Amino acid sequence: MGTLACNFHSFFLNLSNSQTISSRKFPIHQVHYCITAATNLRLKMSHSLSSQNPVTEQQRIVIPNKHGEKLVGLLHETGSKEIVILCHGFRSTKADRTMVTLAVALEKEGIAAFRFDFAGNGESEGSFEFGNYLREADDLHSIIRHFSRANRVVNAIVGHSKGGDVVLVYASKYDDIHTVVNVSGRYDLKKGVEERFGKGSMDKIKDDGYIDIKNKEGSVEFRVTKESLMDRLSLDMHETCFKIPRECRVLTVHGSADETIPVEDAFEFAKIIPNHKLHVVEGANHNYTKHQTELASVVVNYLKAALQQE
């Protein structure tokens, strides 16, 4: 691995505010806290670190998936051989604030990052479909193969919300990535549908074959079909996580005040994933609106430590 640039100060704030998890009656041996800023500063990387940030640039890259659809992404190029792939959530894009924050945080540490749009989202080709977890895992596989063929090492995959589930599905299906970060993923995919689309929506979809989701102006944004609903409901994240190899390191980060996916889902992941660490960000909502700095510091710390173990 090449020389990494060091810029600790902006990313290791607020770590001491992490939640005391033992109060949740969770087996303490299953929970590992991310290291605090003070501890991290003592754990200097063994590699030579520059005192200045690396010169970086963003490159627009188009990569075809297995269906011939063009996936569009932005590479935060630092010149490192290693690269981290970032995966957005439901009805989101590579331009999501969390995706950009993580890419810039990695970039400032000299680690290249690639954030892209799944098929049917953002600039990428294809039709948007509800569910699609397995297909999005295949999109991610196309991205990883592209960089591997370009002699780059994809050392980690990071996903937020639905993207968190996708990276876990990927780890259970493929055996070429050994570091995974699940940010606010959902454990039970049978939940969250009626919370998002309204009470009785699941029965309506099953009876009518579909439901149209409209915006505040009354225009149809997308359609949820019975087929796509069943695709989601058939994915058992409990069984999926059991298939993740023990040598694959997994970090789950979740906000204690997540209003979209309850923090209890994070504890369920911690129970079943063998090589797992959990970090709860106290007071953070689903999008880490006021906790972007802490989220970035937690993820970057973990990925840098993982790089040292490669």
Nearest Cα neighbor of 293 from 5, 4, 14, 6 is 14
Indicate the number of domains in the chain. 2
pLDDT > 90? residue 43: no
Six-digit token string for 9: 């100060």
- Categorise residue 79: left if φ over 0, alpha if ψ from -120 to 50, beta otherwise: left
- Residues 6 or more apart whose CB falls under 8 angstroms from that of 26 comprise 267, 270
> Are residues 281 and 214 located together in one domain of the fold?
no
> Are residues 165 and 98 located together in one domain of the fold?
yes
pLDDT > 70? residue 110: yes
> Are residues 111 and 165 located together in one domain of the fold?
yes
What pLDDT, in 10s, does the model give residues 69-97? 999 999 999 999 999 999 999 999 999 99
CA atoms within 13 A on the CB side of 219: 2
Q: What is the pTM of this model?
A: 0.81
Indicate whether 204 belongs to any domain.
yes
Cβ burial of 104 (10 Å; 0-12, 13-18, 19+) is: middle
Interhelix angle 162-173/133-149, rounded to 10 degrees, is: 70
Indicate whether 157 belongs to any domain.
yes
The C-alpha atoms of residue 219 and residue 215 are separated, in whole angstroms, by 6
Q: How confident is the model at residue 56 (pLDDT cuts 50, 70, 90)?
A: low
Indicate whether 178 belongs to any domain.
yes
> Are residues 163 and 301 located together in one domain of the fold?
yes
DSSP secondary structure letter of residue 55:
P
Segments forming the whole domain that contains residue 269: 59-187+240-308
> Are residues 195 and 181 located together in one domain of the fold?
no
Indicate whether 268 belongs to any domain.
yes
Cβ burial of 23 (10 Å; 0-12, 13-18, 19+) is: exposed
> Are residues 206 and 181 located together in one domain of the fold?
no
End position of a domain, from candidates 202, 234, 266: 234
> Are residues 224 and 271 located together in one domain of the fold?
no
Indicate whether 275 belongs to any domain.
yes
CATH value at residue 125: 3.40.50.1820
> Are residues 83 and 128 located together in one domain of the fold?
yes
Residue 225: phi and psi, rounded to 5, are -90, 160
